[in-house]
């Protein structure tokens, strides 16, 4: 059992190499054979093959109850994200405290940024008597310690199951002077057992707007020349919102992004920690009722909000994570139509440069088969962009996707010859996708970090283009929207394709005739 | 090194000043959790394991996190159902680096997320029927699963579901353990109660209902590793030392662990416990029920490793004792070289720690081995016995903070300006932006292992690379 010490001070080896040393390999083997009482290697290999079969796929798709590796989170994280896009806003999550630790962790791991939110820390007694006292004390503490300009209240499923009434509780807390009577405390009920994070986003946007705009219908609200835009839940929000502001600037449009996290989720390192930074000002949020129109970048993140906005007499327009040339064209034409201003020459030039890049690279994209998964809007926008590149979206999957969404995807597929092999899978999860990838192969997967297990199992290269991206850094700082964003996405896809080509052609004397210097 | 820290710093004054920001009621409550360690103190003089105050940004998690995330989740050949709405399982999916060897999706499921994905109708009509179906589908799609655990999320306990009845029926039907865990997130004050509940379920649903494996042959040298979650391979870097001194590790709880290892644990001669906080309950139970003694050990840093190896060996015969000395001697040259290389770069550097479990005390001597000083430490979810076990590790003048709030920690760090903050992902970017080197001490910042002699070299390297990276020198623009 005695081996020399592999570790050394000169060249410290960590988990990447330490456990490949003979002493650890032997340790693994001893543990397995003497103590684990596992199944035989043959049995494991047999079942492993079976999970890749058509028969397994059928069983897998017959599932009615268990959900395995879904592409959705629960409502509160979406609501928290939406709240964090407003100036000086502290989300206050009413319910169990562990939830907040999870939301903060998840967002932090993606953005590599601090994420601030508080909990009302309800426990057993609150489950019995309700969480009113937690709200009263919690608002007072949060206000005193963190000096927010606004506190946005949302709920965990615990508070929803016991039926706590946010509106009544907040009034009660104000009566007890937890926060000043005129201090803004918008709220949204966000039950985790209804919809997903995209519904939570919608609920919070509507909650904030309701607070500032009032609940009543008023189709005659006076209008001005400003335009509102709601980005939706977007892991690339830092890059994307800044790109949208740049585009609006080129147009000369007075654009209000309703929930702009771009600065709050991208603060500088200069010795000072900013708990809040940027965001849609409360004044602008209040004034936004007078905008002539509101654009939603993600239809499925905003159905109730848009309905509410319509009732204030605004025009609304909705998109599905518009990406690529025509996706951006449509957005810009809408901005031109709403503002009465022409599309700026500079953007036309950017369009031309993007198309030039696509033309330069189309040979590597044409006919390539892709699986795409993520939120409903992302899947739509991504699939359309792929078809524009001559690539074929084959499996398009979203656990948050509805029947309506499936039809919408089908319509987009039907509109292009590159959509012929495509099919939408709403309400399905990544374990379903695993079966699809084994039984109906594609060349590339587009998704998020969770897809790395699919990449490992199927050996199909993964391109990370949607939330959450935990294991690659800083991509969210670059836009995926606009012509510039489309160029970024194009390069990301191409890089992965070229890396994959090189990785598959690099055996000396065997495959390296295809290891081309020029591609 | 001196016998005290923070000399010449008015730490008590700092605590008072930070407390001023609270409304009166909360100030009084928080004051009990903050203290400056006095000489010869028997404990740290703070209250612990008390409800967090609403609205203050506690860093704590919940009972579900303690059970699914810590104790049960790493058991690799079982499937752990996050029972309730989709979120809890989603956020905890692959979040901890509980390394394991296995064919994921076939005979191991550690990096997967299984949920009953509760919808409104399940809340209204109850979820037991759905749970039956979830378990049936799991067993059909994953026939090599050796057992299933039901990890309750908040709604389960509120709507009155009878998951125990489902578990009994399904265990019988499948001929495999199906265990119900009542770890709803609203229970208790932190993840700590989740650990306790999870331990109790192992007692009641594994020990009471299963037997050690037939054909298991005991030896006089059988021990277990309890309370090591194998973050970045920690349990392996510990196991190798125990094996080298001649012991046989018959079970690992629960990093890289299996159901069979849980079942065989009552065969151990002694249970060796690393994370006392999360697994002392089951060790105490086995002591009472099976007469198995247990011992807390510490494999962080060479001083503690040598001491622990000798204490462990003392429970066995002379051969083991001699082996322990040989193993300590074998690693000593590597340890000396590591200290010679890194100590000059780290000596005198001040550290503030805020984590959970065992680390706020167990890592202290590893830092001391490198010549570093601990100026503040605290636990997320400790009990009084943890603070009793802490006072002999830290020095007079150390700032102690229990269940610290984001506000307090930020203010303490701002004034005390340590050279390193050792805490979690939620804290990391706050302090880096303030210009302070930081290491995540839950996930080892995606490095590790940190346990054992092999781990110490990595620990030393990582503290050096954090503290001595040039980025901290370019924070201020020259204009």
Q: Which residues contact A27 (CB under 8 A, 6 or more apart)?
A: B236, B239, B240, B243
CB neighbours of residue A410 within 10 Å? 15
Q: How many angstroms away from the CA of A396 is the closest CA of chain B?
A: 21
Specify if B216 maps to a domain. no
**CA angle, A234 as apex, A229 and A235 as ends, to 5°?**
145
From chain A, the residues in CB contact with B77 under 8 A are: 36, 38
Averaged pLDDT for residues A405-421: 98
C-beta atoms of B61 and A102 within 8 A: yes
Averaged pLDDT for residues B420-443: 98
Whether the predicted pLDDT of A210 surpasses 60:
yes
d(CA A173, CA A169): 6
C-beta atoms of A161 and B476 within 8 A: no
d(CA B317, CA B205): 35
Same structural domain, B321 and B379? no
Q: Per DSSP, which regions of B245-402 are E strands?
A: 248-254, 270-273, 294-296, 350-353, 373-377, 399-401
**B472 reaches A (C-beta below 8 A):** no
Same structural domain, B76 and B152? yes
Q: Three-class SS of residue B386?
A: helix
Specify if B138 maps to a domain. yes
In a 10 Å sphere around its CB, with 0-12 CB exposed, 13-18 middle and 19+ buried, how is residue A390 labelled? middle
From chain A, the residues in CB contact with B95 under 8 A are: 105
C-beta atoms of B186 and A126 within 8 A: yes
pLDDT score for B3: 83
- Stated as kind and residue range, the H or E segment containing A170 is helix A166-175
Model ipTM over 0.90: yes
Q: Tokens 């495999």, residue?
A: B176
* Beta bridge pairs of residue A398: A426
Residues 202-241 of chain B with CB under 8 A from chain A are 213, 232-233, 236-237, 239-240
Number of domains in chain B: 3
From chain A, the residues in CB contact with B138 under 8 A are: 66
Tell me, yes or no, if B65 is annotated catalytic.
yes
Between strands B147-152 and B178-181, the pairing is parallel
C-beta atoms of B65 and A98 within 8 A: yes
C-beta atoms of A145 and B22 within 8 A: yes
Same structural domain, B69 and B154? yes
Of B134, B428, B461, the CB nearest to A66: B134
From chain A, the residues in CB contact with B248 under 8 A are: 34
Specify if B4 maps to a domain. no
Q: Most distant CA pair in chain B: distance in Å?
A: 74
**B344 reaches A (C-beta below 8 A):** no
Same structural domain, B100 and B123? yes
Averaged pLDDT for residues B288-298: 98
- Stated as kind and residue range, the H or E segment containing B227 is strand B222-228
pLDDT score for B39: 87
pLDDT in tens, A88-124: 999 999 999 999 999 999 999 999 999 999 999 999 9
Same structural domain, B163 and B193? yes
Find the CATH number of the domain harbouring B243: 3.40.50.1980
pLDDT in tens, A281-310: 999 999 999 999 999 999 999 999 999 999
Alpha-helical segments (H) within A323-395? 324-339, 345-365, 376-388
Asked if residues B52 and B419 have their Cβ atoms less than 8 Å apart, the reply is no
- Stated as kind and residue range, the H or E segment containing A404 is helix A403-414
Same structural domain, B307 and B435? no
pLDDT score for A70: 98
pLDDT in tens, B302-314: 999 999 999 999 9
pLDDT score for B40: 85
Of A38, A138, A196, the CB nearest to B55: A138
pLDDT in tens, B58-76: 999 999 999 999 999 999 9
Q: CA nearest A103 in B: which residue?
A: B91
pLDDT in tens, B144-201: 999 999 999 999 999 999 999 999 999 999 999 999 999 999 999 999 999 999 999 9
Helices and strands of chain A, counted as H and E runs: 21, 13
Specify if B458 maps to a domain. yes
**CA A288, chain centre distance (Å):** 25
Q: What percent of chain A has pLDDT over 70?
A: 100
Q: CA nearest A66 in B: which residue?
A: B134
Catalytic positions of A are 157, 161
Specify if B254 maps to a domain. yes
Same structural domain, B102 and B53? no
Residues spanned by the domain of B254: 222-336
From chain A, the residues in CB contact with B225 under 8 A are: none
End-of-domain residue from the set B296, B316, B336: B336
Same structural domain, B304 and B324? yes
Q: What is the 3-state secondary structure (H, E, C) of A86-109?
A: ECCEEEEEECCCHHHHHHHHHHHH
The answer to whether the pTM exceeds 0.90 is yes
Tell me, yes or no, if B96 is annotated catalytic.
yes
Asked if residues A100 and A158 have their Cβ atoms less than 8 Å apart, the reply is no
Greater pLDDT, B392 or B111: B111
Same structural domain, B413 and B444? yes
Whether the predicted pLDDT of B277 surpasses 90:
yes
Of B54, B243, B249, the CB nearest to A137: B54
Averaged pLDDT for residues A222-241: 98
Across all residues in chain B, what is the average pLDDT? 97
Q: CA nearest B326 in A: which residue?
A: A2
Which of B96, B182, B359, B389 is catalytic? The answer is B96
End-of-domain residue from the set B292, B313, B336: B336
**B95 reaches A (C-beta below 8 A):** yes
d(CA A490, CA A208): 36
Specify if B235 maps to a domain. yes
Q: In this structure, what token pair is assigned to residue B250?
A: 């018959």
Same structural domain, B363 and B431? yes
Between strands B270-273 and A293-296, the pairing is unpaired
Q: Which residues contact A374 (CB under 8 A, 6 or more apart)?
A: A71, A382, A398, A446, A447, A448, A465, A466, A467
Which of B195, B196, B361, B389 is catalytic? The answer is B195
d(CA A391, CA A264): 36
Averaged pLDDT for residues B459-473: 98
Q: CA nearest B431 in A: which residue?
A: A273
* Beta bridge pairs of residue A92: A118, A153
Same structural domain, B231 and B305? yes
C-beta atoms of B186 and A269 within 8 A: no
Specify if B5 maps to a domain. no
Q: CA nearest B331 in A: which residue?
A: A5
Alpha-helical segments (H) within A417-511? 430-439, 452-458, 482-503
Averaged pLDDT for residues B213-238: 97
Same structural domain, B15 and B123? no
C-beta atoms of B91 and A103 within 8 A: yes
Whether the predicted pLDDT of A1 surpasses 60:
no
End-of-domain residue from the set B305, B336, B367: B336
From chain B, the residues in CB contact with A69 under 8 A are: 93, 112-113
Q: Three-class SS of residue A361?
A: helix
> Counting one residue from A and one from B, how many pairs have CB atoms under 8 Å apart?
354
Which of B41, B63, B65, B88 is catalytic? The answer is B65
Q: What percent of chain A has pLDDT over 90?
A: 99
Specify if B129 maps to a domain. yes
């Amino acid at each position: 059992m005695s081996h020399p010490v592999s570790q050394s001070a000169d060249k410290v080896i960590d988990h990447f190499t330490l456990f490949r040393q003979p002493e650890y390999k032997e340790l693994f083997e001893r543990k397995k054979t003497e103590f684990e009482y596992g199944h035989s290697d043959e049995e494991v290999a047999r079942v492993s093959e079976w999970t890749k079969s058509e028969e397994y796929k059928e069983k897998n798709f017959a599932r009615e109850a268990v959900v395995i590796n879904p592409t959705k989170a629960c409502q509160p994280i979406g609501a928290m994200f939406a709240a964090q896009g407003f100036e000086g806003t502290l989300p206050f999550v009413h319910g169990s405290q562990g939830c907040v630790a999870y939301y903060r962790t998840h967002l932090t791991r993606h953005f590599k940024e601090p994420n601030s939110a508080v909990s009302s820390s309800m426990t057993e007694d609150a489950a019995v008597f309700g969480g009113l006292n937690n709200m009263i004390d919690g608002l007072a503490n949060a206000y005193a310690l963190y000096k927010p300009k606004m506190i946005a209240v949302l709920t965990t499923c615990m508070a929803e199951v016991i039926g706590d009434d946010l509106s009544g509780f907040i009034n009660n807390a104000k009566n007890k002077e937890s926060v000043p009577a005129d201090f803004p405390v918008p709220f949204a009920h966000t039950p985790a057992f209804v919809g997903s994070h995209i519904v939570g986003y919608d609920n919070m946007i509507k909650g904030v707007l309701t607070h500032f705009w009032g609940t009543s219908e008023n189709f005659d609200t006076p209008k001005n020349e400003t335009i509102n835009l709601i980005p939706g839940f977007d892991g690339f929000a830092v890059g994307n919102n800044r790109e949208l502001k740049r585009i609006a600037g080129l147009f000369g449009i007075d654009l209000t992004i309703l929930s702009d996290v771009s600065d709050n989720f991208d603060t500088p390192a200069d010795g000072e920690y900013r708990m809040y930074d940027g965001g849609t000002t409360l004044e602008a949020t209040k004034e936004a009722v007078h905008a002539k129109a509101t654009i939603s970048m993600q239809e499925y993140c905003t159905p109730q909000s848009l309905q509410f906005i319509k009732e204030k007499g605004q025009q609304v327009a909705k998109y599905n994570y518009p990406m690529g040339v025509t996706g951006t064209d449509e957005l810009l034409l809408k901005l031109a139509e709403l503002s009465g201003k022409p599309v700026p020459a500079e953007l036309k030039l950017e369009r031309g440069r993007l198309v030039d890049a696509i033309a330069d690279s189309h040979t590597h994209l044409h006919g390539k088969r892709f699986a795409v998964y993520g939120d409903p809007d992302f899947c739509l926008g991504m699939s359309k962009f792929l078809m524009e590149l001559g690539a074929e979206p084959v499996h398009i999957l979203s656990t948050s996707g509805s029947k309506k969404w499936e039809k919408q995807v089908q319509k987009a597929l039907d509109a292009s010859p590159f959509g012929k092999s495509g099919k939408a899978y709403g309400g399905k999860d990544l374990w379903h996708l695993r079966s699809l990838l084994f039984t109906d192969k594609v060349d590339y997967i587009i998704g998020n970090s969770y897809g790395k297990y699919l990449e490992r199992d199927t050996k199909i290269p993964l391109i990370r283009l949607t939330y959450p991206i935990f294991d690659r850094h800083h991509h969210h700082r670059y836009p995926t929207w606009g012509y510039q964003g489309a160029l970024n996405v194009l390069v990301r896809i191409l890089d992965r394709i070229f890396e994959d080509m090189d990785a598959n052609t690099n055996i000396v004397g065997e495959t390296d005739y295809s290891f081309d210097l020029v591609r | 090194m001196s016998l005290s820290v923070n000399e010449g710093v008015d730490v008590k004054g700092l605590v008072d000043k930070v407390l001023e920001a609270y409304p009166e009621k909360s100030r009084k409550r928080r004051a009990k959790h903050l203290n400056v360690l006095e000489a010869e103190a028997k404990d740290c003089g703070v209250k612990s394991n008390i409800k967090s105050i609403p609205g203050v940004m506690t860093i704590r998690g919940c009972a579900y996190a303690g059970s699914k995330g810590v104790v049960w989740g790493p058991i690799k050949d079982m499937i752990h159902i996050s029972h309730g709405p989709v979120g809890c399982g989603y956020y905890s999916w692959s979040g901890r680096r509980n390394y394991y060897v296995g064919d994921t999706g076939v005979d191991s499921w550690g990096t997967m997320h299984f949920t009953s994905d509760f919808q409104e109708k399940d809340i209204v009509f109850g979820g037991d029927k759905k749970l039956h179906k979830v378990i049936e589908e799991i067993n059909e799609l994953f026939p090599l699963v050796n057992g299933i655990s039901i990890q309750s999320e908040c709604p389960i306990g509120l709507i009155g579901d009878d998951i125990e009845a489902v578990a009994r029926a399904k265990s019988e039907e499948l001929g495999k353990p199906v265990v119900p865990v009542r770890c709803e997130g609203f229970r208790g004050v932190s993840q700590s109660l989740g650990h306790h509940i999870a331990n109790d379920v192992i007692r009641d649903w594994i020990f009471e209902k299963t037997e050690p494996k037939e054909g298991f042959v005991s030896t006089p040298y059988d021990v277990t590793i309890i309370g090591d979650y194998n973050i970045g391979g920690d349990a392996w870097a510990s196991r190798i030392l125990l094996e080298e001194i001649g012991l046989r590790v018959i079970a690992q709880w629960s990093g890289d662990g299996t159901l069979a290892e849980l079942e065989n644990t009552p065969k151990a001669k002694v249970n060796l416990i690393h994370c006392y906080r999360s697994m002392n309950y089951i060790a105490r139970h086995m002591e009472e029920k099976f007469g198995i003694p247990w011992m807390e050990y510490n494999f962080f840093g060479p001083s503690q490793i040598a001491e622990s190896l000798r204490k462990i060996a003392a429970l066995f015969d002379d051969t083991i004792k001699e082996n322990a000395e040989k193993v300590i001697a074998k690693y000593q040259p590597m340890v000396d070289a590591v200290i010679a290389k890194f100590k000059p770069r780290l000596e005198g550097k001040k550290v503030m720690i805020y984590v959970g479990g065992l680390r706020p005390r167990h890592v202290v001597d590893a830092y001391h081995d490198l010549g570093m000083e601990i100026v503040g430490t605290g636990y997320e979810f400790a009990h009084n016995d943890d603070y009793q076990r802490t006072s002999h590790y830290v020095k007079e003048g150390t700032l102690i903070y229990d269940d610290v709030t984001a506000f307090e920690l930020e203010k303490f760090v701002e004034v005390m300006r340590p050279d390193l903050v050792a805490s979690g992902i939620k804290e990391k970017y706050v302090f880096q932006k303030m210009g302070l080197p930081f290491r995540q001490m839950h996930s080892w910042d995606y490095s590790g292992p940190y346990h054992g002699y092999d781990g110490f070299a990595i620990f030393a390297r990582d503290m050096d690379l954090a503290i001595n990276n040039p980025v901290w020198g370019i924070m201020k623009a020259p204009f």
